[in-house]
Chain A
Amino acid sequence: MNPDEVVVIALTALSSVAFLLVTASGLAIIFGIMRIINMAHGEFLMLGAFTVVQVVRWGLSFWLGLVAAPLVVGAVGLLVERTLIRFLYGRRLEAILATWGVSLIIVQSMQDLYGPLTEGIAPPLGSVRIGGFSISQYSLVLIGFAVVMLITMYWIFMHTRYGVMARAASQLPEIAATMGVPSERINMLTFGLGAAITGLGGAMIAPLVGVVPTMGAGFIAQAFMTVVTGGPLMVTGTLASGALLGATNSVVSYFATAFLGQAALLIVAIIALRLFPDGISSGWKGRV
């Protein structure tokens, strides 16, 4: 195996990890803090992708679309939270049914609005040669995006008032309440933030996938698996599980078949949860 190949395998794996991370991070927030299983997660990704596609269709820049996506999807998240989720805090498991309903509504509404197909967008940058291989620059840029996303999340949860309160509320809700943490507002902001980050993730992957209203379903299983395997720490835990699962899938796919790569991802997740029953980051000392 020549050095080119090694480099390409490594970069491809990193890119796979980045793909997993940007599509799962928003879920890490919503599930990590609110313990709500958001079945509409895939649809938030889809809405983010559609936002950037629409922005580009209007002749504006892709990068502007990246800014618009979290705003649009964050607003949708806030709407969903205010009209539905906030009634479910005493019965979190029913959020499954509720968010499933929301997902159906969003998908069909988008199909009615846009039709079942959409003209997507091609990746905005070209390709780069590495020895005998060429890989897309955008997939490398995606790695950068993932890093930026994680750093942003870290900053939000460590250095903003909202972030500190959100972490407190998630760990000890009653005590946080007695300390004056406004849990209703925190929950609203958390769901909105989670949706916004997810929308941003969807926008980031839009140039790499087919953007259609039903695209969300393909991401939800892996996103959940990444988040749950990651454990309680939203940033470091998700990063760890994303790296583990994404790299496993990518490398096994390369040397064997895609089927085995997917199976390997599932099996590694199962084993990780067996070894770390509360997630990989459950024993870690970090705070987020």
Chain B
Amino acid sequence: MKRSLQFFEEHRIGRRQLLQSVALGGAGLGASALLRGLPAVGAPTGTPIKIGTIHDLTGAFAVYNQATRDIVEIAVEEINARGGVLGRPVELLIRDSQSSIDKYAEFANELVLGEKVAMLEGGGSSASREVIRQVIGRNGGPVYFYPAQYEGGVCDKFVFCSGEVPTQQIGPALIPYAMEHFGGEFYTIAADYNFGHISSVWVKKFVEQQGGRVIATEFFPLDQTDFGSAISRIQAARPQVIFSLLVGNNHLGFHRQFAAAGLVDKIPIVSPVFGQAGELTSLSPQEYKGLVVAFDYFPQLDNPANKAFLDRVRARHGGRLPYAIGEFPYNIWLNIQLWAAATNKAASIEKDKVIDALESGLQLDAPEGRVRVDGKTHHLVHSIHIAQASEDRSFKIIKTIPDVQPSYEQSVCDIISRPRTHKQFTPE
């Protein structure tokens, strides 16, 4: 199995003895199969460094976390295969928050106070992030990585957000594409919560900036399943393109009902969220035809790093990919790699030094392309890919925009000069 040499250069890893894998439970068998082909690298020794991850493996949000367990275990195995962090093995503590906000609080407390993990990774919804942030804040650390694409604006010394933000997906990618290919009359449909509200504000800003018009913005409660009236209203408004910020399984009904009304061919839809909850599996190709999305990662990306990444997943499942890996599990993987890279660069697991290493502009060649930590904002400069849903239940990448900055965050947040910042900014 080849690895990108650049990757190793970043981490300054030398040759060591035979590998050793750190497995958790059922991962042991997969790991041994996985590691057969790896080059001989020094085995990590010494007391393990504990890291914790909290995700909704069961419950209503399990649909986002199909790949999560595999991904976190793969990430840690890879790191240990390369000699661990600071020569020590990494021990992964996985927690299932069961789609319950309270459990996030409980496990965050357990991992931070009890297990004293060196790094915490986790969260799905923004609410869960806030709950974890509160625990981190109360305890002055450790460093926390949040993987999900979200509404943007978090500016916190201890927190790093690897997810895409609206000023990366919406402004530079989706809006220009939509205006160029579909027209400037937009109709926004959004989930009725923070992410939907704030993103729709961005949609309006960017659309107007680029010479278009948002005819109307509609919000739908998260448990809405019946979209009949909405579909009628959309038809009455005659937009040229629909910007969808609908989230969750209940909102899947919109696409079904929209297609049933025969509108899929009539009004194109663009979305920065569609596809993360397995929509391409649940819907039939006629129902999602032509839908355009933009993320930092697609499994279809064609580069050596991604191939290696996907091969690792395949190795655990007898050579095939049992599920589509979207940007959410990818970001989770990225979190762990970033932390390991930063810790090795800092030559210490002490939180302040690791943060400094990250803030220095740590860079990785990752499956998405080149990704860099933006030190001032604690967000990532991503490569954003625009893709279109295709008949074979996958996304075809249309365009790639490298080095997309988190511009809003950069305009309001400077953690390097103001290290005591722990808040979230929202645009008016």
Contacts and interface: CB of A to CB of B under 8 A. Distances in A.
A and B bound?
yes
A258 B282 contact: no
A254 B233 contact: yes
Interface in B236-266: 236, 249-250, 252-253, 256-257, 259-263
Nearest to A120: B282
A254 B232 contact: yes
B31 to A, nearest CB: 23
Interface residues of A, number: 51
Interface string A127-157: 1000011111111000000000000000000
A128 B175 CA distance: 31
A39 to B, nearest CB: 15
Contacts of B282: 117-120, 210-212
B350 interface: no
Contact of B232 (A9, A115, A116): A9
B249 A123 contact: no
Contacts of A221: 223
Given A5-B236, A116-B278, A120-B283, A208 B230 contact: no
B41 interface: no
B177 interface: no
B219 interface: yes
B62 interface: yes
Given A12-B229, A108-B58, A258-B221, A215 B249 contact: yes
A122 B259 contact: yes
B224 interface: yes
A8 B230 CA distance: 11
A217 B232 contact: no
A125 B77 CA distance: 50
B28 interface: no
B220 interface: yes
A211 B253 CA distance: 9
A262 B224 contact: yes
Given A108-B58, A118-B281, A210-B253, A136 B66 contact: no
B60 interface: yes
Contacts of A218: 223, 225, 249-250
A276 interface: no
Interface in B303-326: 323
The listed residue with most A CB atoms (<10 A of its CB), out of B224, B249, B253, is: B249
B66 A115 contact: yes
Contact of A259 (B192, B228, B229, B323): B192
Contacts of B63: 116-117, 212, 214
Contacts of A137: 260
Contacts of A116: 62-63, 65-66, 278
B287 interface: yes
B215 to A, nearest CB: 15
Contacts of A237: none
B235 interface: yes
Interface string B136-166: 0000000000000000000000000000000
B284 interface: yes
B286 interface: yes
Nearest to A108: B58
Contacts of A126: 262
Given A117-B63, A208-B260, A259-B192, A9 B221 contact: no
B419 interface: no
Nearest to B249: A210
A72 to B, nearest CB: 21
A105 to B, nearest CB: 12
A208 B259 CA distance: 10
A214 B58 CA distance: 10
Interface string A229-240: 000000000000
Interface string B259-281: 11111000000000000011101
B110 interface: no
A62 interface: no
A139 B282 CA distance: 19
A8 B229 CA distance: 9
Contact of B219 (A108, A119, A258): A258
A60 B163 CA distance: 42
Interface string A96-126: 0000000000001001000111111111001
A250 B262 contact: no
A57 to B, nearest CB: 12
B58 A9 contact: no
Given A122-B260, A134-B262, A210-B250, A117 B232 contact: no
Contact of B229 (A108, A214, A261): A261
A257 interface: yes
B302 interface: no
Interface in A161-220: 207-212, 214-215, 217-219
A19 interface: yes
Contacts of B223: 217-218, 221
B262 to A, nearest CB: 3
Nearest to A136: B260
A124 to B, nearest CB: 9
Contacts of B218: 257-258
A49 B102 CA distance: 31
Contacts of B287: 122
A208 B282 CA distance: 11
The listed residue with most A CB atoms (<10 A of its CB), out of B281, B283, B323, is: B281
Contact of B192 (A8, A215, A249, A258): A258
Interface in B172-214: 192
Contacts of B220: 258-259
Interface string B2-22: 000000000000000000000
A281 interface: no
Given A250-B226, A253-B229, 19 more contacts: A9-B229, A16-B228, A19-B226, A111-B58, A115-B323, A116-B62, A117-B282, A121-B284, A123-B256, A126-B262, A127-B262, A127-B263, A132-B236, A136-B261, A209-B250, A209-B256, A258-B192, A258-B229, A259-B219
4 closest cross-chain pairs (CB), A and B: A136-B260, A127-B262, A210-B252, A117-B278
11 contacts: A5-B236, A9-B229, A16-B228, A120-B283, A137-B260, A209-B256, A210-B249, A214-B59, A215-B250, A217-B223, A258-B220
